[in-house]
Structure 1
Amino acid sequence: MVNLPRNQVVNFSEIPTMQLDSYDRQYVAVINQQKEREVWVNCECRGKYDTDSYKYRLVDADDGGDCYFRVKVNLDKHKYHSLSVNGEA
Structure 2
Amino acid sequence: MPIRYARRRAHFEGRCTVEEALDLTAFLAADADAKVSVGRCTGMHAALVQVLLAHGVRVQGRSLAPDMIRLMPILGGAGAPSAPHDLAPEPECLS
Return the structure number with greater strand share: 1
The TM tier, using the shorter chain, reads under 0.3
Greater relative CO (CA pairs within 8 A, separation 6+): 1
TM-score, structure 1 length as denominator?
A: 0.24
Return the structure number with greater helix share: 2
